Structure 1
Amino acid sequence: MSWFASSRPSFLFLNPTRRRFSLSFKLRFPRDQQRLRNVSLQSEGVPSFREQIARAIPVQSFADVVKHPMIGKHIIFVFGASALVYVVAAHNTNIETKLWASYLVNQKHWSTAAPTTGDMRFAQAQILLKKFQAQLTALTGSLADAPIIAKSVILHSYARLAEMYLNASEGRRAGYGIAALNVGIWIAWQIPVIRPFMMSHFTHHPLSGKTYTMLTSMFSHSSFIHLLFNCMALTSFASATSTWMTREQVHASSHLRESTATYHFLALYLSSGLFSSLASHLVATRVIYPRLVSKLVQPPGEQGTAGLIHKLSSTLSSAAKSSAGPVTETATATRTILPSLGASGAIYSTVIVSALAFPDAEVSLVFPPTPSFPIQYGVGGLVLLDCIGVLRGWRLFDHYAHLGGAAFGALYYMYGMRVWDGIRVHALKSDNTKRKI
């Protein structure tokens, strides 16, 4: 037994940790520790960690990093669109005037004298009257089998509406068309499914970067009261503005005849609305926005960390809701930049033109009902109210847009007719040159 015990393999008594499980050789990478110890980091051009910490790196503040919203493309859009609108309006006015003049000259009862502006507009009224009479006759025939009460109500309503439209001035008729467009857009606001689309494309937010919303927001009203008052004011003062345009065109230096003032009024309405929207945009991006940023960069000890976070979150939420949320008519204290909409700026221009053109006119308020008072007192009170709203920081209305529209109306009363007459003369020369070519 002792012999067999001594003949056991010796590997059973070896240390298990020294047993090899593979045939691979143990390779060692050469290390020149002495060379690495002698080479310094400075010789390789890499600064040490301490040097990187000690290096003075200028750190920009939050106010320096945050850039102001762009205004260049908005200015170009407003002035470019206004110029285009006036060129198109002058071109269409010249073409329509020439067509009506040719129509009257070719009439059998017409004399050899050239038709005047009054002659062309009287002819238009006569043709419009015949058109309404023909439509009334056709409507009477189509309602022959209808009940007598329903027939009389429909015919009487049509006759009253036709008479109201026929007796209205060209400016009031243009106001009716704009009001109809405003009503259609207001109806679209009442559909919940497309309300985010309306919020994104029919309101102008100064921080959105969009330019076309400065135009589309002119026809947008989210509340019925806002729509009602704007449409009533538009149809009232549009009539006085178009009457002033017709009167001044007769005394223009070019002595050009004008068969219609509709295109001129539409150009004034669109350009004044764009200008007032631009005024509000510039104030929001160059006055209110820098103040908001300066408040955000104040040390927390001055306004409190909670107040800083609250202002930042409320500002970002108001900008985000401009493309997906409902419109709020009143602004809270923390919301300093909100989307705007409405035609108040353009209507303000017509109000100012009417007050300057007819200083002896009197106006009255429908709600609340008031007796008549001079228009200059009423307009002066409105402008004063907006000035107080700007100074006090009221946010119920866009006071900057109102004042921008008022400034545009005053400037247009002084220089607008000369600019319009010059554009018409230039457009007429351009048309004659193209015709010769």
Structure 2
Amino acid sequence: MPGEQSNTHSVFIIQNGVARWLPATLRLQESVQNARTQTTGTQTARTQTAGGSGAAEVGPAPLTGPGSPAGPGPSPGLQPPHQALLFHRGGCSFGAAAIWQYESLKSRVQNYFDELQANWLEKLRPQKQGDLRKEINEWWNSLTEGQKTVAGIIFANILVFLAWPLVPPPIMLRYFTSNPASSSLCLPMLLSTFSHMSLFHLAANMYVLWSFSSSAVSMLGREQFLAVYLSAAVTSSFSSYLWKTATGRCVPSVGASGAIMAVLALVCTKMPEAKLAIIFLPMFTFTAANALKAIVVMDTAGLLLRWRFFDHAAHLGGALFGIWYILFGHELIWKNREPLVKLWHDLRTQSGGRPGGPGGAV
């Protein structure tokens, strides 16, 4: 059968030359993802555009001076600290995603044969009616790859939300709010994008992320998607730093909407004719391209008119990053990951030293 020949060929190549097999597999995986993207171009994603879905500003006053929970920091109006710039330019998420994809491709081959061996045992075991574990597994297996990917992000956001009333406020304000006047600058650029102080804010952001997850992951794959999401989170926080420092209004912000805006922007840019709708007004539909234009115009107006309800700089930074990545970043960054993957494979092979062991052949 053709399927059996394909499996045998894959195992042979892995055992005799992973370095040559892997790049071809990565390119094949990308072509499959592109084909999936073309077939999902007409699907409808419903999104929440109510006011609570934006990155919220926590308070009207900067956290500076004696007794400030965030501690003393640079005065407003100074240029953004170099530490934040270096943290933003690190690019570690894409390198980690490339290595993660390499490890996933190797483990999938081994898991395939492990599952074949275990399937007959599963068939012999009697099925229990009403088994909670079985129902959870069926629900999980019914999810798309994108929904499974963002489930961990949503869970992390919920944990941080629950931590606000439990953890001392100075710790939460220092590490889980984005503020260029804080004594901690780098970690909050990422951690603040998992932080929400309002249940409505959390629910709205997570609904939008869940709605666009299937389309985004079908385009990028789960590893690249997570790299883009985390990079967009840091980029949106850095954009907020720049604007707050330039305007001298250094107030803390929280929310995942900057990173989510990047996901929305890359999907709308890749599938401009896809139909979207507002959750409370499903009878009114509009194209993804028009939705993206409206969001960018609204956030630009918010910056110029100094609206204070949302962190419009974070929104714009995330949206522009998503547009840039789907148009140029994928070719510049992800398509050039093979040297890093080859280096990682060589390091694993040298450290392993035996077939089937750490770093050895599958």
Q: Which residue, out of 58, 80, 84, partners 1:74?
A: 84
Distance 1:433 1:378, change over 3 A: same
Aligned length: 275
- Aligned partners of 1:166, 1:221: CA distance in 2, in Å? 29
- Aligned partners of 1:353, 1:220: CA distance in 2, in Å? 23
Question: What is the one-letter code of the residue matched to 1:270?
Answer: L
Contact persistence 2:262–2:320 (CA under 8 A):
yes
- 2:62 aligned partner: none
- Aligned partners of 1:130, 1:96: CA distance in 2, in Å? 25
Contact persistence 2:239–2:314 (CA under 8 A):
yes
Question: What is the one-letter code of the residue matched to 2:241?
Answer: H
- 1:204 aligned partner: 178
- Aligned partners of 1:339, 1:98: CA distance in 2, in Å? 43
- Aligned partners of 1:344, 1:131: CA distance in 2, in Å? 46
Q: How does 1:263-278 map to 2 (within 5 A)?
A: 263-278=223-238
- Aligned partners of 1:270, 1:380: CA distance in 2, in Å? 23
Distance 1:380 1:432, change over 3 A: same
Contact persistence 1:218–1:273 (CA under 8 A):
yes
Question: What is the one-letter code of the residue matched to 1:72?
Answer: H
Question: What is the one-letter code of the residue matched to 1:288?
Answer: T
Contact persistence 1:87–1:423 (CA under 8 A):
no
* TM-aligned CA deviation for residue 379 of structure 1: 1.9
Contact persistence 2:193–2:254 (CA under 8 A):
yes
* TM-aligned CA deviation for residue 69 of structure 1: 5.2
- Aligned partners of 2:198, 2:81: CA distance in 1, in Å? 29
Contact persistence 1:188–1:194 (CA under 8 A):
no
SS in 2 for 1:206: coil
Q: Which ranges of structure 2 fall in alignment gaps of 5 or more residues?
A: 1-74, 351-362
Q: Which residue, out of 323, 333, 347, partners 2:260?
A: 347
Contact persistence 1:90–1:420 (CA under 8 A):
no
Contact persistence 1:188–1:195 (CA under 8 A):
no
1:235 aligns with 2:210: yes
Contact persistence 1:275–1:404 (CA under 8 A):
yes
Distance 1:73 1:103, change over 3 A: same
Larger RCO, structures 1/2 (Cα 8 Å, 6+ apart)? 2
Q: Relative to structure 2, which stretch is displaced further, 276-285 or 372-381?
A: 372-381
Contact persistence 1:233–1:347 (CA under 8 A):
yes
- Aligned partners of 2:316, 2:209: CA distance in 1, in Å? 17
SS in 2 for 1:371: strand
Instruction: Using structure 1 for the length normalisation, give the TM-score.
Output: 0.57
Deviation per residue, 1:311-353 (Å, 9 max, x gap): xxxxxxxxxxxxxxxxxxxxxxxxx321011111100111011
1:101 aligns with 2:109: yes
Q: How does 1:8-87 map to 2 (within 5 A)?
A: 68=78, 70-80=80-90, 83-87=91-95
- Aligned partners of 1:204, 1:397: CA distance in 2, in Å? 13
- 1:365 aligned partner: 278
Deviation per residue, 1:224-278 (Å, 9 max, x gap): 1100010000111121111112xxxxxxxxxxxxxxx222211111000100110
- Aligned partners of 1:395, 1:238: CA distance in 2, in Å? 29
Q: Which residue, out of 395, 414, 421, partners 2:308?
A: 395
1:288 aligns with 2:247: yes
Deviation per residue, 1:73-103 (Å, 9 max, x gap): 10001111xx212111101101211222355
Q: More strand by proportion, 1 or 2?
A: 2
Distance 1:432 1:188, change over 3 A: closer
Q: How does 1:44-193 map to 2 (within 5 A)?
A: 68=78, 70-80=80-90, 83-104=91-112, 137=127, 140=130, 159=135, 162-191=137-166
Distance 1:163 1:281, change over 3 A: same
Contact persistence 2:80–2:241 (CA under 8 A):
no
- Aligned partners of 1:365, 1:134: CA distance in 2, in Å? 48
- 1:407 aligned partner: 320
Deviation per residue, 1:149-198 (Å, 9 max, x gap): xxxxx68xx73x5444323222221212111111111111233x623321
* TM-aligned CA deviation for residue 383 of structure 1: 1.3
- Aligned partners of 1:208, 1:409: CA distance in 2, in Å? 27
* TM-aligned CA deviation for residue 281 of structure 1: 0.3
Question: What is the one-letter code of the residue matched to 1:264?
Answer: Q
SS in 2 for 1:395: coil
Question: Aligned-residue CA RMSD in angstroms?
Answer: 3.2
Distance 1:130 1:274, change over 3 A: farther
Question: What is the one-letter code of the residue matched to 1:205?
Answer: N
- Aligned partners of 1:419, 1:128: CA distance in 2, in Å? 42
- Aligned partners of 2:204, 2:312: CA distance in 1, in Å? 16
* TM-aligned CA deviation for residue 436 of structure 1: 5.7
* TM-aligned CA deviation for residue 70 of structure 1: 4.3
Contact persistence 1:69–1:207 (CA under 8 A):
no
- 2:289 aligned partner: 376
Contact persistence 2:174–2:183 (CA under 8 A):
no
- Aligned partners of 2:92, 2:342: CA distance in 1, in Å? 17
